[in-house]
Amino acid sequence: MFEIATLTNGVRIALETIPFVRSVSFGIWVQNGSRHETAENNGISHFIEHMLFKGTERRTAKQIADEMDAIGGQLNAYTTKEHTCYHARVLDTHLEKAVDVLADMFFHSAFAPAEIERERNVILEEIAMYEDTPEDLAHDNLQYTVWSGSALGRPVLGTENSISAFTQDTFRDYMKHNYRPENTVIAIAGNFDRDKVMALFEATFTAFPEAPAYAAHACPIVYRPGTVAVPKDVEQLHMCIGFPGISIGSDDVYVMAALNTYFGGGMSSRLFQTLREENGLVYSIYSYNESYSEAGLFNIYAALNPSQAKAAMALIRKEIARLFTDKMTEAELEKTKEQLKSSYLLSLESSSSRMSSIGRSTLFLNRILSPDDLVRRIDDINLDRVYELAGRIFDPAQISLSVAGGLKNIDVKELAVHV
């Protein structure tokens, strides 16, 4: 059973009871990420995510870990460009303890100066490690290029300059203004009593500090095609070819999933079969759509020897053109639909994945799709919709290119011409 309820302070609660399991997963979802930051405080959302594990007014970092270990629970978090999620998974008998620990972290983190300094060093190392990874750089730089001038293009981790400036007061002020009932969702899935859980959440998650009404940080998104290259002293070349994609709330979300699966989403896709299996030009190749609230980015990624770059780029371009001349058949569409249904439904066979699904959907769309609704939307996909979307996505005037890695003897501008 799915339900979206609301606490007295406006926090939305997404619930799914699964009585035949013994686990419960719940998460605190906040619609706040690097997109909601400024250039000066870039990276603060991710830093706060780290700091919430470093001790509260009642617990040290070790006590947080010990208490969760004592009940065999799992506790974690992550930050993206548009949201942060703190989540736990425990046996149904330990739900109250897990809620107490996570709520204590969420509302009463100490932000001790000594812990801030230690974690600052950890994050600076994380940034350095990221910059040493050409694959990550290729993806990140593509976003920085196409969303230039927008917070969406900035890195989730922040920069060395911004990370170095944060203090205890910076964190507390940012949380007070950006962690609000209006942009928070509590998602829970598993074996639990609905009324007891609602009473528990009402008693626990109404403790937001007083602050001005939440106002989302304005961040207009404009896609700007461009080319970027970062040389690295490695043998392999990593390249991303980008096009404007679709947003989270688009009616074409599942159509995009079908198009992507057929074109570059797996080992049977056209891109993989042509470039890897038939021609041996790449080690890895795939495509995906990354969706945001009002926009998206369709990306083709390839890892290959630099000497094969021109040939691979020309063949990718040929495959895009062939998509419109040697079109997907009805039989291929049906196969793709079955792949999608299997992928989605199999991914929902744990309480943690169900919690993630209903949490994200409630946070961004304020609705929950049942598995049956999802299957119906996939079944409604037809070839006309696939090719209408493909015509919008693969606009030659909107192509962007990001490359990182071994650029020796490669003229990036010339390479871009081959797209």
Please tell me whether the overall predicted TM-score, pTM, comes out greater than 0.85 for this model.
Answer: yes
Tokens 């990370």 belong to 163
Enter the tokens of residue 388.
């209408």
With vertex at residue 410, the alpha carbon angle to CA 408 and CA 416, rounded to the nearest 5 degrees, is 150
102, 88 contact by CB (below 8 A): yes
In a 3-state reduction of DSSP, which class is residue 346? helix
The 10s digit of each residue's pLDDT in 155-206 is: 999 999 999 999 999 999 999 999 999 999 999 999 999 999 999 999 999 9
Per-residue pLDDT, 348: 84
Residues 318 and 396 in one domain: yes
**Confidence category of residue 416, pLDDT binned at 50, 70, 90:** low
**Confidence category of residue 1, pLDDT binned at 50, 70, 90:** confident
Compute the Cα dihedral for 353, 355, 357, 359 and give only its sign.
negative
Residues 199 and 251 in one domain: no
Residue 412 lies in a domain: yes
Q: Which of 137, 172, 204 is the last residue of a domain?
A: 204
**Residues in CB range of 329: below 8 A, 6 or more apart:** none
d(CA 220, CA 71): 45
Q: Is 49 a catalytic residue?
A: yes
Residues 294 and 359 in one domain: yes
Averaged pLDDT, 231-250: 93
Residue 217 lies in a domain: no
**Residues in CB range of 409: below 8 A, 6 or more apart:** 306
CA–CA distance from 196 to each of 10, 199, 201, 350 (Å)? 19, 5, 9, 22
What amino acid is encoded at 199 in this protein?
A
Averaged pLDDT, 371-388: 95
- DSSP E strand boundaries for 53-173: 74-79, 84-91
Residues 237 and 98 in one domain: no
Residue 212 lies in a domain: no
Q: Which domain holds residue 341?
A: 227-417
Which one of 49, 67, 119, 319 is the catalytic residue? 49
**Residues in CB range of 118: below 8 A, 6 or more apart:** 54
86 pLDDT exceeds 70? yes
User: What does DSSP assign to residue 386?
Assistant: H
CA–CA distance from 313 to each of 223, 286, 319, 320, 415 (Å)? 22, 13, 10, 11, 7
Averaged pLDDT, 328-357: 93
Residues 129 and 174 in one domain: yes
Enter the tokens of residue 209.
């500090």
CA–CA distance from 318 to each of 203, 323, 326, 418 (Å)? 60, 9, 11, 10
In a 3-state reduction of DSSP, which class is residue 294? coil
Which CATH number fits the domain that encloses residue 23? 3.30.830.10
d(CA 404, CA 239): 6
The 10s digit of each residue's pLDDT in 32-73 is: 999 999 999 999 999 999 999 999 999 999 999 999 999 999
Q: Which of 154, 171, 204 is the last residue of a domain?
A: 204
Enter the tokens of residue 173.
């002020």
What is the share, in percent, of the chain residues with pLDDT greater than 70? Answer: 96
Count of domains observed in the chain:
2
Q: Name which residue leads in pLDDT, 418 or 322.
A: 322
Per-residue pLDDT, 67: 97
Using alpha carbons, select from 194, 175, 141, 164 the residue that is nearest to residue 4: 194
Q: Whats the size of the chain, residue-wise?
A: 419
CA–CA distance from 356 to each of 14, 194, 291, 352, 369 (Å)? 10, 18, 16, 6, 13
Residues 145 and 240 in one domain: no
Residues 72 and 180 in one domain: yes
Using alpha carbons, select from 182, 178, 116 the residue that is nearest to residue 151: 178
H or E element, residue 289: strand 284-291
Per-residue pLDDT, 212: 74
